[in-house]
Amino acid sequence: MENNTTQWVVIGCAGLTGLVAIVVPNLDQRDPTPMQVSAAFVDRYDLAPRPARAAFERPPGFEPVRPAGMRFDPMPIGETAGTRQDVPDRTELVIALGQQARSLCGDRLAAGFAAAAPDYAASFPESKDRDAIELRMLNRVDAALIAGKLSPRERAAGVRETPLGLELWALAVAPDFPADSLTSTVVRQVLTGEIKNWQRLGHDRGPAVVVVPSGRDQTRRAARSLILGDAFAPEAIRVADDRHVRDQLLRHEGAIAVVRVPSTAPVGMKLLQIDWNPPTPEAFAYGNYPYGVPLALVTSARVDGGVQAFLDYVRSEDGREAFGNHVLLPVRR
């Protein structure tokens, strides 16, 4: 019984294999005879070929619907690139501006340089004068504008200073004042209010009336220069400009005013010497008259590019006008 079953299984497998061998090769063969379609079938399903039209033809009487107020312009096949004017790049220049230096020149210097040198995008971030020097030493700014001098440590670090100007302080009295010079000790005693009458010094001029600038920054710089930062006499009269100084000199016989030395000779007043040294830029440059605030540009050892352009502007006539009448030209030794 088992032998018969096995024989039938073998026979069935052989037959199936033969059938596959006959059917599979015929699947890839295509009938070369074209399919015959009846005319009725073509008409029913609209299969007749149509001639191709060369371009779209608008049917007679056809008009596109356009919304009111909207305009349809024909779209160009290709847009041409418009002409663009090249804008030259502006070189960035950063100059740290010390607070004391800024009080000397204000915003006039920055505005003047921007107009004179449009090729440079200059910025003047404000900081303390010593901090401005540190920024230059760390190479974080191109230069530093300060009111003061470099210390030996800062010079040893490789930075240099270029003098730009000088704010020089002096004492003004009436033209007929009997003294031409005062000692630095007497100057200190008079300005702080310790000496209140000229008779103590042998001058018949009555009370010593101290006149100082009204501006806080100016008063601070003047006190630092003349009396080492001490406070002026509490009863000191504060005035805005030289015209008011002259008014006080005429009103008070013993008036003594703290003024900035102008670039031209003062009118209606006499400038006193201190320790027989005149209030001149030459005396300051030699160290004989130290009562001033120098304005300097701190740079690296090599000056070029935008820093040199800034120096050229400061030394020009327009640059000098930006500082005003009370910043004197530097004196070179």
Does the residue 44 lie in any domain? no
Residue of 211 and 87 predicted with greater confidence: 211
The average confidence (pLDDT) of the chain is 81
- End-to-end CA gap in the chain: 136
What is the pLDDT averaged over residues 173-196? 96
Q: Does 191 share its domain with 266? A: yes
Does the residue 119 lie in any domain? yes
DSSP string, 202-270: T----B-EEEEESSHHHHHHHHHHHSTTPPPPTT-EEESSHHHHHHHHHH-TTEEEEEEPPSS--SS-E
Does the residue 6 lie in any domain? no
Query: Residue 87 — very low, low, confident or very high, per pLDDT cuts 50/70/90?
Result: very low
CA distance 240 to 71: 68
Q: Is the pLDDT of residue 39 over 80?
A: no
Q: Are 170 and 261 in contact (CB under 8 A)?
A: yes
Query: Residue 48 — very low, low, confident or very high, per pLDDT cuts 50/70/90?
Result: low
Of 105-109, 179-183, 200-204, 300-304, minimum mean pLDDT range: 105-109
- pLDDT at site 140: 94
- pLDDT at site 43: 54
Q: Is the pLDDT of residue 7 over 70?
A: no
Does the residue 218 lie in any domain? yes
Q: Is the pLDDT of residue 131 over 70?
A: yes
Q: What is the pLDDT of residues 245-271, one digit of tens each?
A: 999 999 999 999 999 998 787 888 999
CA distance 80 to 84: 12
Does the residue 37 lie in any domain? no
**What is the domain extent for residue 242?**
168-285
Three-state SS at 5: helix
Q: Does 160 share its domain with 303? A: yes
Q: Is the pLDDT of residue 55 over 90?
A: no
- Total residue length of the chain: 333
Q: Does 173 share its domain with 280? A: yes
Short-list 301, 274, 263, 320, CA closest to 136: 301
Q: Is the pLDDT of residue 311 over 60?
A: yes
CATH classification at residue 197 = 3.40.190.10
Q: Are 278 and 169 in contact (CB under 8 A)?
A: no
Show Cβ contacts of residue 230 under 8 Å, excluding neighbours closer than 6 positions: 188, 192, 223
Does the residue 194 lie in any domain? yes
- Under DSSP, the state recorded for 159 is -
The angle, 0 to 180 degrees and rounded to 10, between the axes of the packed helices 305-314 and 108-116 is 110
Query: Residue 317 — very low, low, confident or very high, per pLDDT cuts 50/70/90?
Result: confident
CA distance 119 to 113: 10
Number of structural domains the chain divides into:
2
Q: Does 162 share its domain with 172? A: no
Q: Does 179 share its domain with 280? A: yes
Q: Is the pLDDT of residue 104 over 60?
A: yes
The tokens for 253 are 């016989």
Q: Does 158 share its domain with 299? A: yes
Q: Is the pLDDT of residue 331 over 60?
A: no
What is the pLDDT averaged over residues 1-22? 58
Does the residue 116 lie in any domain? yes
Q: Does 95 share its domain with 176? A: no
Q: Does 200 share its domain with 271? A: yes
Q: Does 185 share its domain with 267? A: yes
Q: Does 124 share its domain with 217? A: no
- pLDDT at site 161: 93
Short-list 295, 294, 296, 208, CA closest to 258: 208
What is the pLDDT averaged over residues 226-243? 93
Q: Is the pLDDT of residue 41 over 50?
A: no
Q: Does 160 share its domain with 175? A: no
Does the residue 45 lie in any domain? no
Query: Residue 56 — very low, low, confident or very high, per pLDDT cuts 50/70/90?
Result: very low
Q: Does 299 share its domain with 151? A: yes
